[in-house]
Chains A and B, each alone.
Chain A
């Protein structure tokens, strides 16, 4: 590369680096802060790099009910993911592979339900779960989160099912396979990675959710991590060391899972392809 070209590339390289730093700095900062000794954490002015310390991690594990909160979050998110995968894949199969009266209306309905914001339904949803005696139960939390994620998951799964060539079903029908057999032997193996990816996405959304959890799961032994963390942080003197450790433990699994399913997420989001 000759010098003049290099000079031209330099502003671009700086811009690209700035972009990466902008996106990653808050994440790095959670990690760096979580691994700080008490003195380094509250140093004024703050320093960028310090000697790593596991002080706050130890503090969180010994002094708080963190394990209980993480277990609650994991149980609710896992349950929501399973229901999403089950109901979502069945419905997506029905909506993409069968022609029946009302199908287009249902597809459109799911689309508009997807636009209904959680803040508009958290109150009546809470009442409904309360009347069923499901507040402060895992089932209640799972149902609330499934309501939140199912429209989006169903919409994504439809796009994965559509990408499986219908000729495969036709061939199976010619060979005399039943609907159940076609689903189990033809569709499911091909759609499985997509279904699993959607399940992981549902897990991530549920794991991160605050609004529904804060109304439905309020008893201290039922709290999910976001709710417990919000409470700790709202106390007068916020214990930032513990908060950063809990923040890091909440975020890192999500980032790993998201990176695993990224390919599917991108494909699903852009399948509708807003055409230019």
Chain B
């Protein structure tokens, strides 16, 4: 590193700026370059390579294969699976995201109304976010297992589930248990964002509304909810993208079963590549998902930028 190279602090006033303007760009580039190279080499280039894979018929991951033009695209479109898998992915994404937001908001409001006790409670409510997907998937399978599962047992006592049946093996119920697992996993994130957004609401608004005779529901409906609009949109987009593309939890929890009722798009990508050894088709599926994500990111680019930039 160049030792005579001065740092140029940002946001300094003009005169100081001109005095300090001895910076040499190479220093900054030297600092940023290693991270950039790694991300370019292992993230950006692989992403572009996916496009080329989609035109080849390799029968093994890492093999080059024969150029087949659009055959992989045609095969995927003709597979007859797109409709059903898209539907499951949509239910899983919307159900998880909406559930996380609703529970996150309720939890945030609960914490705020608890004062100091809320600080300790927040630590407990944050824990699910850190739990590894594998642990979550396995304890969920264990709690909802047939006969020995504690939650299966309680559901049966309450008469909510028939005896001698396994909730995760039931085609009607499984998807909602997977969604519930994801809500459990992700609601703390929404809770954190909503905590900040709620604290930014001017208390004077509530006082004024109180003087005008507004009740609790009216205050929530006409002050709280509108103030949370941008936080909600950002959370919907970010959690939505994250859920639509998440693989670990659904794969480890059900592997797509029973009868394909929890078979989400990322599982399809993984199975084409690692199970059926058709990386070309996996690349097509990844690209289609990527395009869908890109469309969402593009449509909401301002919200994403606003919510993620400092």
Contact = CB atoms under 8 A, between A and B. Distances in A.
Given A115-B297, A118-B247, A178 B142 contact: no
B148 A41 contact: yes
Contact of A251 (B132, B153, B184): B132
A130 B62 contact: yes
Nearest to B110: A16
B23 A98 contact: yes
Given A26-B136, A147-B42, A179-B1, 17 more contacts: A23-B124, A26-B128, A91-B32, A99-B8, A117-B245, A117-B266, A119-B289, A121-B43, A123-B273, A124-B50, A166-B12, A178-B3, A244-B139, A266-B126, A270-B193, A274-B197, A275-B197
A46 B35 contact: no
Interface string B112-137: 01100000010111111111111110
Contacts, number: 331
Interface in B279-310: 279, 282-283, 286, 289-290, 293, 297, 304-310
Contacts of B107: 19
A27 interface: yes
B80 interface: no
A10 interface: no
Contacts of B130: 204, 254-255, 258
A20 interface: yes
Interface size range on B against A: 35 or more
**Main SS class of interface, A:** helix
B49 A124 contact: yes
B142 A243 contact: yes
A106 B10 CA distance: 17
Interface of B: 1-12, 16, 20, 23, 25, 27-32, 34-36, 38-39, 41-47, 49-50, 53, 61-62, 106-107, 110, 113-114, 121, 123-136, 138-143, 145, 147-150, 153, 184, 188-189, 192-193, 195-197, 200-201, 227-231, 234-235, 238, 241-242, 245-248, 251-252, 255, 266, 269-270, 273-274, 279, 282-283, 286, 289-290, 293, 297, 304-310
Nearest to A147: B42
Contacts of A275: 197, 200, 230, 306
Nearest to B49: A124
B184 A91 contact: no
Interface in A236-276: 238, 240, 243-244, 247, 250-251, 254-255, 258-259, 262, 266, 269-276
A117 B269 contact: no
Interface stretch (A51-59, A60-68, A205-213): A205-213
A225 B139 CA distance: 15
A93 B39 contact: no
Interface in A60-106: 86-88, 90-91, 93-101, 103, 106
Contacts of B121: 16, 19-20
Given A169-B7, A173-B20, A210 B47 contact: no
Contact of B125 (A20, A126, A238, A274): A20
Nearest to A127: B62
Given A19-B125, A116-B43, A155-B308, A98 B27 contact: yes
A166 B306 contact: no
B10 A147 contact: no
In the complex, the 5 A-B pairs of residues with the closest C-beta atoms, listed nearest first: A94-B31, A124-B46, A117-B245, A208-B132, A98-B28
A230 B7 CA distance: 49
Contacts of A143: 38, 42
Contacts of B304: 111, 115
